[in-house]
Each structure stands twice: as structure tokens, then as C-alpha cells.
Structure 1
Amino acid sequence: MSVPVQLFTAVERHTIRFHQVQRGTGDRVRQKRVNERTGQEVPFEEVVKGYPTEDGWVIVDPKELEDIAPGRSRTLEIVGFVDLDEIAPVYFRDTYYLAPSGPQYTKVYGLLREALATANRAGIATFVMRNRQYLAALKAEHEVLAVYLLHWADEVRDPHRELGASLPDHSGASEQELRMAVQLIEAMAIDWDPADYHDTYQQQVQALIDAKRAGGTLEPGIPPPRETEAVDLMQALRASVEHARAGRSGDRDTH
């Protein structure tokens, strides 16, 4: 079954972007492509890709990369269907919405979405976009189909190799400490609503810009909390549980 679709970005980032300027002058600083040997600027159309080897550079033209792109199309080739819960969160990258590319494809598009939702599974697929091949998971998301781009297995680092000696020892906590920690988690249990969360750091950055523009300053943020010492771990856990429960009680009293 083939479903012609259009791809739309599902998210937008709101990072405040700065330009590089020289301190004390306000002059804009720009980057240029410069020949390392001659010091002369190189036009964009003369830039090709080079892969370093012991014998020198292997030069590859961008057109050659286009010619060998797998499939040379944007076809999502589904190889099978999996339970999305089986995919560890570390594998997820970006998200795109899919839409039928014409009214004549809405029925088959809707059928695929309903089937995926009913089966509670995601289609694992590969496709090519912007001269790169991607691994993806196709899933029913509300009223649409969504594609989650995934990392390849060799892109995800092994935590045992990366953390090494820093990997925590699971045998260090006592049963009482574990029980208290679980109580703290349960006392702070909440319902998930993404609208409840906002990028407060970006808000502070904008506030800093506004304050400096007006000739003022901004108070520093709250310093990080003191590290919990191992000797008073139980005391800290008890205090945290009591604080969380008191907060919940206060919330109920105000509603």
C-alpha cells in the first residue's frame, strides 16, 4: 500500500539568537570561508567536501553525494511494526506531521492512521531527506500521522563505556532509604500537561536584554541547591517527603 504524503515540521524552537559583535565597538563579526594556505576568501560555489586520509584528501562533489543517495527519493519504506514503548527515549530525535498530498488520498491515509491506533503499534521505516538517510517511526498521533526520526544504533553511546567508574552502585542504598525515596516520588506524582511548563530561562534572557536596553540590570538567579551529603540522606528524604505532602495539602485547601 502506498500513501503519497507531505511532510511538516511538528515543533518550532524559540531560542533567542545572538549575533557575534566585537566587545567595545558593537561592530558585527562575520565568518568567511578562507583558503588556509593563501588567506584568500573562497566563493561558495568553489567549496567541495574533502575526506582526510594518510595519502591526502579525497575530494567529493556535493552532486556526487546526491547521485548515491539511497533510493534517491523521499519514500518511507516500512519494514515492520513495533510497540513504540519498546523504543528507548534516547533514540528519538525530531518529529514531523504527515498530511495526504491530495484529497484522493485521504481515505487510505485515514485507514492507515486508524489501523496504527487500533493496533497500538508504530511502523519502522527508512527514508532519504536532504541527502541523508533516516530511521523513523510512523505513529498515529491524535488526528494525524506523525513521523519520529530516530538515531541509528551506532549513534547511541553505551552508558557503561561513557560513565565508566562514575556509574552509580545500585547496592549502596538501604531498604529504608529506597522506601522513603519511593514515598517522595509518590508524594510528588502529577498529571502530565505540557502546557504547564515554560522556558523560564529564555524569559530571563529576554528580560536581561530588555533591562540592558533600558540601561538597567537584572538580579542574578537563585543559586543551585546545596549538595546532599550521604550522612544526612535519610533526614533530607524525610524533610522532602513532608514538604511535598504539605504542598499537596495546601493545594487542596486553595481549590
Structure 2
Amino acid sequence: MARPVWSGTLTFGLVSLPVQMYTATENHTVRFHQVQRGTSDRVRNKRVNERTGEEVPLDEVVKAFDDGDQYVVVEQDELDDIAPGRSKSLEITGFVDLEDVEPVFFDKTYYLGPKGEQYTKVYALLEKALAEAGRAGIATFVMRNHQYLVAVKAEAGLLTLHTLHWADEIRDPRSEIDNLPGRTEVTDRELKMARQLVDTLGMEWKPEEFHDTYQEQVNALIEAKRSGRKKGKAEPPAESTNVVELMDALRASVDRAKKPARSTARGKSAKRGSGTSETGKAALDGLTKAELYRRAADAGVPGRSAMTRDELVKALTRQENAA
């Protein structure tokens, strides 16, 4: 069982609920070490005085703030004196509609569990109330000498805690990006065709079908180099759409998105009638990865989002042969 990263008392009104908090996500990024080329010698970072070039012992390293004119040294015990300490309270100050909290505010997710069986009824009561109301409890709490703004939500029968960014941490996109479209005009025909493309490419949200394919390719590259094999390169990125050809690109995209369903139906019909498929492997080899993916989506191929182009061809070929 996982160990809680924080425990304390969640309160709303005069109701108290002892809870424990657990990390909800994990990072599966491939970790690399630094080594000197041509050797197996690890390269490590050292704390070095940039003026003298000499290594500095850890106990001589202190925190300092650069105010522009000088460094203001701040000792750890001075930070401890003003820090609120390890808080044991998670007090909900109010409840807000979930749709009012913009996605940009959400940071990290944790699971909340009752601290003991005797608290399960209060836990279930809050979870059901939040689920029916479609609201989230907003609170602040302290963990590891850091204060967090959080939202407590009901999700799939349990309580979750989402750390939120403070309002002054959210950057204004208008001041960060100097080429936003603003009042750029689009024609009714362009908008209608774009909406049609969005509707045609509609899909159900199934997160289990999406995988970190880049990390899979990194692992495949490592294995290929370990065994002395060569690893192929990824497909080049798509070229930018010319504004003059925008309508043509939209129309062609809609036609391409619709085509796989019709082609698949014809292929199955041909296979039943003659024992051979009109859309065999040779035909699939001539399609782009986007076309193969749309065909896989229409055919309900599981795990298609994580597949390479060759894997899509093989999966579609297997499914067609089995039809």
C-alpha cells in the first residue's frame, strides 16, 4: 500500500474529517545519467565558487536573494521563524461550481482517504454531496513549509485534492503572445467547414487508449543501440497550411475523415463475395498515418493511439483478414 504524503483534518462548517493524502500520479520519464564520451565515467555536478573555481562544502552554502544591487542572505532558521509550520488543518472556506475554475489553475492531483474506518460515513457524505452539487471545496493548507491553494472534488466515488496555482501565478496570454489572432475575420463557409471537420473527427474520451509513445520510442532506441540494430526515424512534421488553400485543406480533411468508413464497408463486402479484400496490405501501405488512424478509429482497433504507422497497417490487416 502507498504511504500518505500528508495527513490532517479536513473541515467544512462544524464538521471535521481526519484524512490522509496520497499521490495520484507518477512520472515514467526515462532517466539518463551524464557520462564522458568514450568512457563509462559518470559526470557529476559540484558546488563551485564561480570566482575562485574551488568546490564549496554544503554547510557553507546559504540562500541569498539578488535585489539588483547586492545579495541579501537569508538563513534557514529565519525562514523557519516566519513559516507557518507543518499544518494539520485543511479548512474548506467555501464551495464553487466546478465549471468556474478554469483548467489553467489546476496543478497536481492527490487522492484523499479517510484516516480510519470510523470516519467513512462522514467521508462518503461529503463525497456524495459534492458529486450531486457539481461543486468543489476551496481551501488552503500547508505541506513541507509551503502553502497551497486547493480544490477538493468528488470523482468516481472518492475525494480528490487538486493543488491550484495562485491567481498572480497565471500569466496573461495577451502580454505573453504578441501575434494572437484578435479580431481576425473568418468566413461563414470556413467556419461551417471547420465545424464539420471537428464533428467528423469526434471521438469518445478513452484515456486508457493513449500512451506516451515518445518514451516508448526512447526505450526502443535504447534497446536497438544495446543490441547493435538501427532505429528508424520518425515521420517529419506536417507542413503549415497556406491561408489561400485553407478551404481546400478543410474540405479535403473532411473527405478523408469520412472515407475510411465507406472504404471499410466496401472492403468487407468484397471479402465476403470473393475471399479477397479490396483494402489489403498493399492498399494500406499507400495511406498516410492520419488516414490509417481514421480507418483504425472507424474499425474500433484498440490501442490505436499508441501505434506507429507500421503497427496500424498490421492491426488493420489482421482485423480485415479476420472479418
CA distance in 1, matches of 2:112, 2:193: 45
Equivalent residues of 2:86, 2:144 under 8 A apart: no
2:182 aligned with 1:156, yes or no?
Answer: no
1:131 aligns with 2:145: yes
Distance 1:228-1:54 versus aligned 2 partners, 3 A rule: closer
User: Structure 1 residues 22 and 58, CA, compared in 2 at 3 Å: closer, same or farther?
Assistant: same
In the other structure, the counterpart of 1:198 is 211
Residues 55/240 of structure 1: CA separation in 2 closer, same or farther (3 Å cut): closer
Gaps of 5+ in 2: 1-14, 265-297, 301-319
Greater Rg over alpha carbons, structure: 2
Give the paired residue count. 254
Cα deviation for residue 189 of structure 1 reads 0.6
Match of 1:231 in 2: 244
- 1:1-49 per-position Cα deviation (integer Å, ceiling 9, x unaligned): 2211111000111100111112232321101122334433233333321
2:130–2:153 contact (8 Å) kept in structure 1: yes
Aligned 8 A contact 1:6 1:98 in 2: yes
After superposition, the C-alpha distances for 1:187-245 in whole angstroms (9 at most, x for unaligned) are: 01111010010111111000000011111221110001121111111110000001111
Whole-angstrom CA distance in 1 between matches of 2:121 and 2:76: 39
8 A Cα contact 1:65 1:131, kept in partner: no
Which runs of structure 2 are paired with 1:7-156 in the superposition (5 Å)? 7-54=21-68, 56-70=70-84, 72-156=86-170
Q: What secondary structure sits across from 2:217 in the alignment?
A: helix
Question: Structure 1 residues 31 and 71, CA, compared in 2 at 3 Å: closer, same or farther?
Answer: closer
Give, in whole Å, the separation in 2 of the partners of 1:248 and 1:93: 39
Residue 30 and residue 125 in structure 1: after superposition, are their counterparts in 2 closer, same or farther (change >3 A)? same
TM-score, normalised to structure 2, is 0.74
Picking from 184, 198, 209, the partner of 1:171 is: 184
Does the 8 Å contact 2:96/2:136 carry over to 1?
yes
Which moves more between the two structures, 82-91 or 24-33? Answer: 24-33
SS in 2 for 1:70: coil
CA distance in 2, matches of 1:186, 1:54: 54
Q: How far is 1:54 from its partner?
A: 4.9
**Highest RCO, 1 vs 2 (Cα 8 Å, sep ≥ 6):** 1
Q: Secondary structure at the match of 2:161?
A: strand
The residue type paired with residue 33 of structure 2 is H
- Alpha-carbon spacing, 1:152–1:32, altered in 2? closer, same or farther (3 Å): same
Unaligned runs of 5+ in 1: none
Q: 1:121 Cα deviation (Å)?
A: 0.4
8 A Cα contact 1:66 1:72, kept in partner: no
